[in-house]
Chain A
Amino acid sequence: EIVLTQSPGTLSLSPGERATLSCRASQSVISSYLAWYQQKPGQAPRLLIFGASSRATGIPDRFSGRGSGTDFTLTISRLEPEDFVLYYCHQYGSFPNTFGQGTKLE
């Protein structure tokens, strides 16, 4: 099983700043099959990024992803107030699919 470790656990920033979230895999993620999700309280997760770097439909361009192999990054270039929620990475290249433990942006 591929273990995904997200860091930091909590990231404290202000609106307008740049956020960099990390997701490190215990083994190489096949074909960069890595996604990022945003989750607001009481809601289902929302897909932000798939294939490590492709933005999902309707996602603002301030969200970007990069990485390959075992190291992946989600960057939010200019934080908006609504961005201060939870973020998860997800690898779907190997079974079982796994998620990181999450990063809270506050």
Chain B
Amino acid sequence: EVQLVESGGRLVQPGRSLRLSCSSSGFTFTDFAMTWLRQAPGKGLEWVGYIRSNSYGGTAEYAASVQGRFSLSRDDSRSVAYLQLNSLKTEDTAVYYCARGRSSLFYWGQGTLVTVSS
């Protein structure tokens, strides 16, 4: 059974940093890109970015709203994808989801809440 579990979300002050993790099981992690998305309270879905599998260079693409502040990485030995959030703003407050793949997204985690507030 495919499982994705996000963790690391918490209350953080503006300007600070945070790292989210997406622990994966039930599939061959090395074979898949991983996508991150977010949803601000009461708002719609926003694509944050995705990281390719290492077979495709392990490079990442980002939304303009997070380019230069957020970065994606992966540890294939541990089947974990990471989202590093730097220079956080209040508008980054959201539930952050990871999902398997880079196209249509069948498998999602349950999300982790990041609250940016002073």
Contacts and interface: CB of A to CB of B under 8 A. Distances in A.
Contacts of A47: 104-106
Interface in A26-78: 33, 35, 37, 39, 44-45, 47, 50-51, 56-57
A82 interface: no
Contacts of A98: 47
Contacts of B49: 96
Contact of A56 (B44, B106, B108, B109): B106
28 contacts: A1-B64, A35-B103, A35-B104, A35-B105, A37-B45, A37-B105, A44-B97, A44-B108, A44-B110, A45-B105, A45-B108, A47-B105, A47-B106, A50-B103, A56-B106, A57-B106, A88-B45, A90-B45, A90-B104, A90-B105, A92-B102, A92-B104, A95-B61, A96-B47, A97-B35, A99-B47, A100-B44, A102-B45
B97 A96 contact: no
Interface of B: 35, 44-47, 49-50, 61-64, 97, 102-106, 108-111
Interface residues of A, number: 23
Contact of A51 (B64, B97, B104): B104
A101 interface: yes
Given A44-B97, A44-B108, 17 more contacts: A1-B64, A33-B103, A35-B103, A35-B104, A37-B45, A44-B109, A44-B110, A45-B105, A50-B103, A51-B104, A90-B104, A96-B47, A96-B61, A96-B62, A96-B64, A97-B47, A100-B44
A44 B100 CA distance: 13
Identify the interface centre among A1, A97, A99: most chain B CB within 10 Å of its CB.
A97
